[in-house]
Structures are given as structure tokens and as C-alpha cells.
Amino acid sequence: MPLIIITGYPTSGKSFRAAQLQKILENRGKNVHVVSELCFIKLAGFDKNEHYRDSQKEKLVRSNMKSQALRLLNRDDVVILDGANYIKGFRYEIFCASKASRTTQCTLHCAITCEQAWAFNRIKGMENYHKDVFDALCLRYEEPQQQNRWDRPLFTIFPEEELEEENILNALYHQTALAPNLSTQNPPLSSTNYLFEMDNITQDIIARVMSARKLGLVGPVNVNNGSSVDIPSDINASQMNRLRRQFLNYMKQHTTADSKIEKLPSMFVQFINSNFK
């Protein structure tokens, strides 16, 4: 599930490096997906120069690239984001997304001077950038910096250099993935049925405890899941219901799509017992 962001000036060799990385990783048995900006421009029906002259078209392509990259992130595959990626805010968005997915990430900067990039551009013939578009992209380019956490680890490579193959692989597979924080996590998911069942289960447990107390029983009260509620004999229904509301509020904030309804009774019993101890 590692993610590689490739960035650089126009015609700086980004797609060439993406193909190199793909071959290296596939030779090591990895499944690799290359998300190419140029492919998305063509899919949208835009001319490359027309696309970069229109900010709305650029936003559309960036959005499509980001969506595709996030869909492909999983436990096993490598995703290579091949494009200009010249806006640091966009690279930060990708960084947050990879944190939320608990994946590792690195940035490959294809470094080159504007003059050298323009010389390469003129060789490419029909695929070349128009001069005004090329100059605008160079002017707008926000170079990645090692001190920016969203650009780290950063590998800078010039056209005449070889890829730092082992260092890149170490960054992808031997560093600890950043833990997501509240700003990068999706809100908890919960189904209406799960909340309904939780409400019924907690009410039933409290009813059993209060019924036992009315009958004069003291000590732990067994509930239907095999666990016991062990609370002082003078606890009343009002106090129990206050705890129940606290438990429900907590669970609504921390319930996810894979939460198991079977664990609820024991969780609620543990919550009650820990509060009275």
C-alpha cells in the first residue's frame, strides 16, 4: 500500500522515472498502479496545453487523480502518482489521505533547470508544451522541501543520475506508517440497527440488575452473556441510567462499520463495574 508522489518541471523525466520504479517494484513481486496525469488529461478530452491554461480543467484532473489514487490504496499494492504535482497544498492533501490509510509515502523530485527542461521539451515534437504554458508551469512550481513533513522522505534526482533504489524501497517498506490523527480520519460509521440494538441491550442489562435488587438479592448479578454486574446494593435506577447515557454517548462517537454487536453486553458490563470500582 505504499504511495510514491513524483513531481517536477514539465519534461523533467517524471513518466520515465515512474516507469523505472514500476519495473523495479514489479521485479520484486509487487503489484504496482501508476496514476498518470497525462492519461487523465486525455480521458477528460483535453489538449495538454489547453488543460494547463484553464484552472478549472486542472482542478478536475487533480480531483480525478486523487480519487483514483485513494481507491487503489490497499494493504499490498504500490501506487505511483505520476504528474506535475506542483502545488504543495495538493501534495499535503495526498499526505493526509495516506495517513488516514495508514500507509507509507515518499516523494521523488525530478530536479532539472528550466533551460534544460525546455531543451528536452523541444525534442518531443508534437507532445511539446507551448512556451507560454511551459513558462507558467515553471513559475507556479512549488518545489518540495525536506523540512515539510508531507514531502518526506524526499528523494531528489537529476536526469543523469540513477534512482536510489534501495533507499526508496527502505522508505516504503521499512519505515513506520504515520498514525492518523483526528484531522485525517473519517468520522465514525454506525448503522441505525446497531444503535437500536445497543439501546435495547443496555436497557435490558439495567432492568435485570434493578429487578434483582428489588427482590432483595445482593452481590454480583449475572446477565445473559455470562458476565456479572458487581455494584453496591444501594445504587438506584437513576444512577444506572446516567451511566447508560454516558456509555451510549461514548459508543456513538467510537462505533465503526466493523463494530460487533456481540461484544456490546460485555463492554457495557465492564463499563458499569469499572465506574463503581
Q: Does 216 have pLDDT greater than 90?
A: no
Q: How far is CA 138 from CA 75, 85, 112, 203, 210, in A?
A: 36, 12, 11, 65, 73
For residue 218, pLDDT beyond 60: yes
Q: Is the pLDDT of residue 229 over 70?
A: yes
pLDDT value at 125 more than 90: no
Q: Locate the domains of the chain by residue range.
A: 3-184, 192-276
Name the range with the highest mean pLDDT among 26-35, 193-202, 257-266: 26-35
User: Could you tell me what percent of the chain has a pLDDT over 70?
Assistant: 90
> Residue 170 above 50 pLDDT?
yes
Categorize the per-residue pLDDT at 196 as very low, low, confident or very high, splitting at 50, 70 and 90: confident
- CATH label, 3-184, candidates 3.30.930.10, 3.40.50.300, 3.40.640.10, 3.40.50.720: 3.40.50.300
Q: What's the pLDDT score for residue 76?
A: 79
Residue 32: pLDDT over 90: yes
Mean pLDDT over residues 235-242, rounded?
86
pLDDT band for position 259 (50/70/90)?
A: low
The pLDDT value given to residue 25: 94
Question: Cα–Cα distance between 216 and 195 in angstroms, integer?
Answer: 32
Q: What pLDDT does 277 receive?
A: 65
pTM exceeds cut of 0.75:
no
Is 151 or 183 the better-scoring residue by pLDDT? Answer: 151
Predicted local confidence at residue 225, as pLDDT: 64
